[in-house]
């Protein structure tokens, strides 16, 4: 069976921890745009300056890097819940946020919410919901991996308390236990597809059968741990093979993310449909990236992800 060629958006992927091969493979698989949420980076940060440089790379270098593979890069800005627990540092990070949240390509405040549901997490979650209102940006919510059901309900309650319309909030990392409530309450319901644990691809097919495609979003959350930057196209193919309609797959793996984050006014389809081809001579602060071996020599599919021979130095 031939599958229709669809376009994909991966609306939750931490590209700073991925390689150029990943970008090339994503482009070859049909990913036209990615959204990179600001998050924890594995090693806890000890100085506000490292947050500043991280945010700067999300709106700067990473955006450029993606462009060199024909992918449009957007991001969300926020203080993650884990690092909210270092309160003195968190205060300084909060001061920094408005400066970055207003930059081009920032489509939401996020990912924010709860990790262990501590007092400090709650405080900075609320502060950032107010920031989202001030900046007129949607919100991306990270739900806790432990105590998920309670944490997810509570996250939605807090958004409502701050008067944020559910249609402007994406609740991420859902599962079978949380999905119904999120949809019933009118929030966007995103699912992270990890290769082995948590939400697997086939479970997503079953969820799509049960709940349809309205307000459902599929993402990879790929980062430095075991994860798959091709989770969105792979899940899309699996859904198509299992009889989910192309229109529903298009909604879950492309259009819904565009609708949700399009409310920022910072992402629209014309960004990639009308885009010029990759300019391999483009530089970022005087530095090039492709080193003469990138997409200009034959498209992203030869940039390194697939055939070994293109990586052999002759
Ligand atoms: Zn994430």
Question: For 174-189, what is each residue's pLDDT tens digit?
Answer: 999 999 999 999 999 9
CA of 14 to the centre of ligand 1 (A): 7
pLDDT at position 4, please?
54
Q: Which tops the pLDDT comparison, 274 or 163?
A: 163
CA of 143 to the centre of ligand 1 (A): 10
Q: Which of 135-149, 190-204, 206-220 has the lowest mean pLDDT?
A: 190-204
Q: Is the pTM of this model over 0.75?
A: yes
pLDDT at position 199, please?
57
CA of 145 to the centre of ligand 1 (A): 12
CA of 110 to the centre of ligand 1 (A): 9
pLDDT at position 279, please?
79
CA of 18 to the centre of ligand 1 (A): 13
Residues within 5 A (CB) of ion ligand 1: 39, 221
pLDDT (tens digit, 9 = 90+) per residue, 253-287? 999 999 999 999 999 999 999 877 787 788 888 88
User: Residue 197 — pLDDT band, cuts 50, 70, 90?
Assistant: low
Q: Which of 46-60, 135-149, 194-208 has the lowest mean pLDDT?
A: 194-208
Parallel, antiparallel, or unpaired: how do β-strands 169-172 and 188-192 relate? parallel
CA of 39 to the centre of ligand 1 (A): 6
Q: Are 233 and 71 in contact, with CB atoms under 8 Å apart?
A: no
Q: Is the pLDDT of residue 121 over 90?
A: yes
CA of 43 to the centre of ligand 1 (A): 15
CA of 80 to the centre of ligand 1 (A): 9
CA of 273 to the centre of ligand 1 (A): 27
CA of 78 to the centre of ligand 1 (A): 11
CA of 38 to the centre of ligand 1 (A): 7
Query: Which of 160, 151, 264, 258 has the alpha carbon at shortest distance from 215?
Result: 258
CA of 221 to the centre of ligand 1 (A): 5
Average pLDDT, the chain: 91
pLDDT at position 308, please?
40
Q: Which of 15-24, 33-42, 282-291 has the lowest mean pLDDT?
A: 282-291
pLDDT (tens digit, 9 = 90+) per residue, 130-158? 999 999 999 999 999 889 999 999 999 99
Query: Which residues make beta-bridge pairs with 170?
Result: 140, 188
pLDDT at position 282, please?
83
Query: CA-to-CA distance for 152 and 181, rounded, in angstroms?
Result: 9
CA of 141 to the centre of ligand 1 (A): 9
- How many CA atoms lie within 13 Å of 290's alpha carbon, on the beta-carbon side? 25
Q: Token pair of 214, please?
A: 């309205």
Query: CA-to-CA distance for 59 and 195, rounded, in angstroms?
Result: 28
CA of 66 to the centre of ligand 1 (A): 18
Beta-carbon neighbour count of residue 46 at 10 Å? 9
pLDDT at position 285, please?
85
Rounded to an integer, the average pLDDT of 12-38 is: 97
Rounded to an integer, the average pLDDT of 106-117 is: 97
Q: Is the pLDDT of residue 123 over 70?
A: yes
- Percent of residues, the chain, with pLDDT higher than 70: 90
Q: Which of 82-96, 129-143, 231-245, 264-278 has the lowest mean pLDDT?
A: 264-278
User: Residue 192 — pLDDT band, cuts 50, 70, 90?
Assistant: very high
C-alpha distance from residue 280 to each of 29, 80, 236, 299 (Å): 20, 34, 30, 11
Q: Token pair of 179, please?
A: 């999905």
CA of 41 to the centre of ligand 1 (A): 10
Q: How large is the angle between the packed helices 201-211 and 231-241, nearest 10 degrees?
A: 60
CA of 312 to the centre of ligand 1 (A): 34
Q: Is the pLDDT of residue 310 over 70?
A: no
pLDDT at position 286, please?
83
């Amino acid at each position: 069976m031939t599958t229709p060629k669809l376009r994909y958006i991966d609306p939750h992927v931490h590209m700073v921890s991925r390689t150029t091969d990943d970008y090339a493979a994503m482009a070859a698989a049909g990913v036209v745009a990615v959204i990179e949420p600001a998050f924890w980076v594995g090693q806890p940060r000890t100085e506000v300056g490292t947050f500043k440089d991280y945010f700067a790379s999300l709106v700067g270098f990473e955006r450029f890097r993606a462009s060199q593979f024909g992918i449009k890069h957007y991001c969300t800005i926020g203080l993650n819940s884990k690092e909210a627990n270092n309160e003195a540092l968190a205060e300084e990070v909060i001061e920094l946020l408005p400066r970055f949240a207003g930059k081009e390509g920032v489509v939401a405040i996020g990912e924010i919410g709860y990790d262990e549901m501590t007092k400090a997490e709650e405080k900075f979650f609320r502060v950032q919901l107010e920031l989202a209102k001030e900046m007129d940006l949607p919100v991306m919510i990270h739900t806790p991996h432990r105590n998920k059901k309670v944490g997810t309900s509570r996250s939605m309650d807090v958004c409502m308390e701050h008067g944020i319309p559910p249609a402007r909030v994406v609740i991420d990392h859902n599962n079978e236990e949380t999905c119904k409530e999120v949809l019933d309450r009118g929030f966007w319901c995103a699912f992270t597809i990890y290769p082995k644990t948590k939400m697997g691809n086939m479970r997503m097919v079953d969820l799509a059968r049960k709940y349809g495609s309205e307000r459902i979003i599929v993402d990879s959350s790929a980062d430095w741990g075991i994860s798959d930057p091709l989770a969105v196209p792979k899940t899309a193919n699996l859904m198509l093979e299992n009889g989910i309609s192309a229109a529903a797959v298009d909604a879950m793996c492309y259009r819904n993310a565009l609708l949700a984050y399009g409310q920022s006014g910072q992402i629209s389809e014309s960004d990639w449909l009308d885009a010029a081809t990759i300019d391999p001579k483009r530089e970022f602060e005087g530095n090039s990236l492709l080193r003469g071996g990138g997409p200009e020599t034959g498209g992203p599919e030869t940039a390194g992800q697939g055939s070994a021979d293109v990586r052999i130095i002759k």
